[in-house]
Every structure is written in C-alpha cells, then in structure tokens.
Amino acid sequence: MSFIDFSAGVFIQTQTPPSAVGNRLLASLPDNELDVLFPYLEPHDLEFESTLFETGQPLEYVYFPSSGLISLLATVDGGSSLEVGIIGKEGMANASAALGALTSPSRAIIQGAGTAFRLKTDDLAAYGGSLNRYVLLYIHYLMVQITQSAACYRFHPIEQRLARWLLMTGDRMESNEYRITQDFLSHMLGVRREGVNRAAGELQRKNLISFSRRNILTIDRAGLEATACSCYAVIRREEESFQDLVSTFS
Amino acid sequence: MSFIDFSAGVFIQTQTPPSAVGNRLLASLPDNELDVLFPYLEPHDLEFESTLFETGQPLEYVYFPSSGLISLLATVDGGSSLEVGIIGKEGMANASAALGALTSPSRAIIQGAGTAFRLKTDDLAAYGGSLNRYVLLYIHYLMVQITQSAACYRFHPIEQRLARWLLMTGDRMESNEYRITQDFLSHMLGVRREGVNRAAGELQRKNLISFSRRNILTIDRAGLEATACSCYAVIRREEESFQDLVSTFS
DNA sequence: TCAACTATGTGCGGTTTCGCACACTAGCCC
DNA sequence: GGGCTAGTGTGCGAAACCGCACATAGTTGA
C-alpha cells in the first residue's frame, strides 16, 4: 500500500479517514482532530526483520503501527543487543521526538510484519492537540517497560524471560503462533542462540509451548504466565493504567 | 533549611531569587520565568540513604537537586534492586509528572546528601513555560540512561560497571571521595556485597581507587575511564547534547 | 536429486557470579 | 576498656551462562 494509492482511494475521495485506524493512539483522537491530522499521515509498510531506525539517528518520522510489531533494542560494543521495549498498535515508535529530542535513543527493528502510519516529526511538533497528551503518557509507559526490562535482564533466568517475551508478543500480535528463528530471538533476549534453544526446550517439556523450525506455538497461556517472571504483570498493569488515562481524555 | 526560613530570609525580603540556584534546569530559566516560579519552590533536604519516593506511588512533588545525588532504582521480587538512573543538579526526580503520569515508575533514594527545591506536580503542570521544554528534554536523556543501563547490566562484568558508577557519581558529586558502604553499593549495581568487594579490590590492585571502611577514593580518573565500559561515554555524550539543547533554548 | 545453505540440537570445558560460611576489624556505647 | 555491632575480607562448591565444536534436519535451487 503506497501513500498515493491510499490517499487517492480513501482520503481524497471520501474526505474522511477510515473509521477504524488500527493504531489505538490515533483511534483515540476525537474525530475532528483526526480529520486535521490525517493528510499528514503516510502509510508505511513494516517489513519483517528490517530496521526502522538506528540508535543516535536523527528523528525524522514517528511511526504509529496499525498491525505488526516493533522492537526497541539497546546495543553495546557494536554487536550484542537486547530488547528493551515492544511496540504494537497500542503505541508508537520514535516517541522521543515529542520530547524535543533530536536523535533516537534506541534501535528499532520490525519483529512482526505489518503496516503503520508515519508522520514527520516536524508535523507532530506543529500539530499538538490531544495527540501530544497521549504521546507523553505513552512515553511514561515506555519508561516503565524499559526500567522493568533492565531489572529483568539482571535478575531473571532465560526461561522466565522467554516466557515473558512470548506473552508480551502474543498480546500485541493477537496470535499464539510466531514465525521466528531462535537466532533472531536470541538477539531480543540478549543471550546466545543455544540458550534460547535450551530454554524453549524446557518450556516445551512442560507442555507450555511447541516449537519447530522458524516457528513457536503457545499451547498453555496460563501456564506461561505462571512460569514468566513478575515483570510481565508489572508491565501489563502499567499498560492498563495507560489505556485508562488515554480513554479518560478522549 | 525549612520553607518558611528560606522564604522569609531570601525570597520575601529581596523579591528576587538567589542568583545562583544550584539546579541547572532551574538556573537555565530566563530570570522573569524564575521569578514567577520561585514562590512555588520549596527547599527540601535530601537526607543520606532516605527514600524520596517509591515505585507506583502517586506523584506529588518533583525534585530539583541543587546538590547531592538521587538514585533511581528498579526493584523486582520485593528485594533485589538495581540503579537505572542517577540524578544530580543537572536534572530532576519524578519528571514523569510532566508526562501526565500519575505514579512514579521507579524508587528513588538519596545516595548523596544535599538539598533540592521541590514543586507540587500540580504547580508544575499549571506553570508550563520554558521549564516544561527543559523537563521533556531531560526525560529523553533519562531514557537513554535507563536504556544503556539495561544493556550494561546484561553484558558488562561487575568491575566495569563499578568503574562506570564511580565516574558517573564523581561527575555529579564533583568530588573524588565518597562515603558509602559496599552493601549499599551492591544494591545500586544489582550484585551481592561480596561481588562489590572483589571488584573494588581489583580496581585497587590496579591503583585506580583506594578504599576503606565506608569510603572510596578515586585515584586515577583517566585509568577508571579506560576500565569502565563504553556505557559511560554513551551516557556522557547524551548528557552533553542535552545540555546543548537546553542552552540553545535559554 | 543432490549440493549448499539455513536453522536447530547437543556436548563439554571455562568463566562469572551466586550462595553460604566464617573470620576479622573499626568504631560505638555502656 | 570491653563488649557489641556494622562493615569488610575471603574461601569454596554450585549454578547459570558462555564459547566453541560439531552433528543433524529442514529448505532451496541448480
């Protein structure tokens, strides 16, 4: 889907945006505000395993996913990487632009294919409105995610972290099956591929998941929640209060 | 120093705030803005090893340290803790209030005694002005700190993390000697006391520091920088660009 | 269909850190 | 000044994870 197609097919023709914009931040906007913003939103494909932006790169666009999954990665020593945040349709990427920052604090890669609307950071700054309030609330939620991740990586074993990752990904993808290699996953969890293999083997032995080449299937969600560390619940709770605040305002 | 004393002694009498407010965010404000804000600022002692606020606690005040040091801690499983951010006079605590959040994302403790001005979150929200822009920029910088910490705790050994901690603390305290127990430090670095002891012993063996009961002295700052992980440089660089942005606006 | 490549499964020794135990010492208080 | 306590120093086995090596299995394409 390109910007021209979309614009001609939906926006220009009807003069109203599609009633269901997949992204929840955008969908929470009052209709009149969304009308104003809509001409500046540009559809953008999220291609699996591609890089959306790099750490330290100038903030050019912010991205509002309608579907798919974006991972925020911290990298050190030019190699090792670690997922510090997961962004689905409840949020946005490059939110730091709303803080007046000039460069991105982390790397972002597409961890689940989908589509997003993107918006030039200048347009976001110029726009203001209710969106700005949502974006700031979202940044707070993201900080909780990152903070919790820091502690999680320090204190919790791989198996618990994997369980948490599967749950958080499942929540956002609304699916219990993912196509992903263990090698890719190892860069998310900040461990070696072999570590992922052993942890996944352990979860399978407990009949919580089932996995094969490029594929992981969640079998027992409740069991996974019991196995995952408390970080999942903490982040989940914070997300709910974020959603509550957003709906209060809209 | 209490609010009444200070107000009577300095503000009411002279009708101008002291020329040198220690906190750099406040000091960067244009004079006329600081005049407006000043009556709402309340001096507050930062007492060593006391808790400033807890994770999840309602945001009541924001704190602008003039001296001393505040540590932001992530805690899990009701015990293990980990420093994810250090706040000195360059910044503020409970900055999430500026995002519209209702509760604090982390625990804050006083890691170096000093004084701060505090401001009711409602007053901050009502005030706006240039301060708001500084605060948002600071939050971005804090996110970089937390993100980098997450990766650092995952990938770097205790000795490097300790070196980084000594450097970051030294920058903010503007001193090369700290009074702190190894036990206290172990909660900052997310390790056991014994781990701190061994790492410190190693740094001492290399003639970078010298330590004794409740005391650590930095001997060779350049050597420490060489020993510390790259996370120190990353955070340092981000702080500089934060300072640049703030001074651009003021 | 066979080779080449991608991805997974597993063994094993090494390193870091943990967890526990315990000895030692500086400083405080009675 | 003699005990008490907080803080420090150190040894040792266990656990988690790394790093490397290599075998196996699924997938692709000439």
Q: What is the pLDDT of residues B40-64, one digit of tens each?
A: 999 999 999 899 999 999 999 999 9
Find out whether B35 and B16 touch, Cβ atoms under 8 Å. Answer: yes
- The structure tokens listed for A206 are 């407990």
Residue B232 CA distance to nucleotide D24 C1' (Å)? 44
Buried (b) or exposed (e) across B103-117, using 16+ Cβ within 10 A? bbbbbbbbbbebbbb
Who among A75, A143, A152 is closest to B151 (CB)? A75
Determine, for residues A150 and B155 on separate chains, whether the beta-carbon distance falls below 8 Å. Answer: no
Q: How far apart are the first and last CA of chain A?
A: 29
Who among B72, B140, B245 is closest to A105 (CB)? B140
Vertex B54: Cα angle to B65 and B52 (nearest 5): 25
Give pLDDT, residue A17.
52
Closest nt to residue A183, judged CA to C1': C7
C-alpha dist (Å) from residue B117 to A70, A84, A139, B3, B177 = 39, 32, 25, 10, 25
Residue of A nearest to B135 (CA): A99
Comparing B13-22, B100-109, B179-188, B214-223, the range with the smallest average pLDDT is B13-22
**A228: exposed, middle or buried (Cβ count in 10 Å: 0-12, 13-18, 19+):** buried
Q: B4 pLDDT exceeds 70?
A: no
Give pLDDT, residue A174.
87
| HSE-CB of A62 using CA atoms within 13 angstroms | 28
Q: B8 pLDDT exceeds 60?
A: no
Give pLDDT, residue A246.
93
- Chain B residue numbers with beta carbons less than 8 Å from the beta carbon of A81 are 151
Would you say the C-beta of A191 is within 7 Å of strand D? Answer: yes
Query: How far is B36 from B29, CA to CA, in rounded Å?
Result: 11
Residue with smallest Cα–C1' gap to C7? A213
Cβ count within 10 A of residue B237: 12
How many residues can be counted in chain A? 250
Amino acid at A230: S
Determine, for residues B152 and A76 on separate chains, whether the beta-carbon distance falls below 8 Å. Answer: yes
Q: B27 pLDDT exceeds 90?
A: yes
- Chain B residue numbers with beta carbons less than 8 Å from the beta carbon of A147 are 72, 74, 84, 105-106, 146
Cβ neighbours of residue B161 under 8 Å, at least 6 residues apart?
Answer: B152, B153, B189, B199, B229
Residue of B nearest to A189 (CA): B154
Name the 3-class secondary structure at B164. helix
Confidence of residue B174 (pLDDT cuts 50, 70, 90): confident
Give pLDDT, residue B20.
52
CA distance A168 to chain B (A): 18
Determine, for residues A102 and B139 on separate chains, whether the beta-carbon distance falls below 8 Å. Answer: no
Who among B100, B154, B238 is closest to A190 (CB)? B154
Find out whether B146 and B84 touch, Cβ atoms under 8 Å. Answer: yes
Q: Provide mean pLDDT across the span B128-140.
A: 93
CA B214 to chain centre: 21
Query: How far is B172 from B133, CA to CA, in rounded Å?
Result: 22
CA nearest to B133, candidates A122, A23, A2, A125:
A125
Interface of B with A (CB under 8 A): 72, 74-77, 80-82, 84, 96, 98-103, 105-106, 133, 136-137, 139-140, 142-144, 146-156, 190, 229-231, 238, 241, 245
Name the DSSP letter for residue A250. Answer: -
Query: How far is B80 from B72, CA to CA, in rounded Å?
Result: 14
Query: How far is A53 from A104, CA to CA, in rounded Å?
Result: 8
Query: How far is B50 from B28, CA to CA, in rounded Å?
Result: 28
CA nearest to A98, candidates A143, A131, A142:
A131
Determine, for residues B137 and A241 on separate chains, whether the beta-carbon distance falls below 8 Å. Answer: no
Give pLDDT, residue A5.
34
Would you say the C-beta of B156 is within 7 Å of strand D? Answer: no
CA distance B32 to chain A (A): 23
Give pLDDT, residue A20.
52
Vertex A13: Cα angle to A11 and A18 (nearest 5): 40
Alpha-helix residue ranges (DSSP H) falling in chain A: 3-6, 13-14, 24-27, 31-37, 121-127, 129-155, 158-173, 182-189, 193-205, 221-227, 231-249
- The structure tokens listed for B118 are 């505090």
Q: B14 pLDDT exceeds 60?
A: no
Per run of 10 residues, the mean pLDDT along chain A (length 250 residues) is 33 45 92 92 93 94 96 89 96 96 95 94 90 96 97 97 97 92 96 97 96 94 96 96 90
Determine, for residues A140 and B96 on separate chains, whether the beta-carbon distance falls below 8 Å. Answer: yes
Give pLDDT, residue A91.
97
- Chain A residue numbers with beta carbons less than 8 Å from the beta carbon of B75 are 151
Nearest-10 Cα torsion for B247, B130, B138, A236: -160
Determine, for residues B100 and A245 on separate chains, whether the beta-carbon distance falls below 8 Å. Answer: yes
Task: Kindly report, residue by residue over B187-235, the tens digit of the pLDDT.
Answer: 999 999 999 999 999 999 999 999 999 999 999 999 999 999 999 999 9
Q: What is the mean pLDDT of chain B?
A: 90
Who among B74, B133, B139 is closest to A151 (CB)? B74
Output the pTM of the full model: 0.91
Who among B77, B143, B151 is closest to A143 (CB)? B143
CA nearest to B186, candidates B158, B228, B151:
B158
Residue with smallest Cα–C1' gap to D16? A157
Give pLDDT, residue B127.
85
Positions of strand D less than 7 angstroms from a protein CB:
6-11, 16-21, 26-27
Alpha-helix residue ranges (DSSP H) falling in B128-157: 129-155
Determine, for residues B100 and A133 on separate chains, whether the beta-carbon distance falls below 8 Å. Answer: yes
Determine, for residues B245 and A155 on separate chains, whether the beta-carbon distance falls below 8 Å. Answer: no
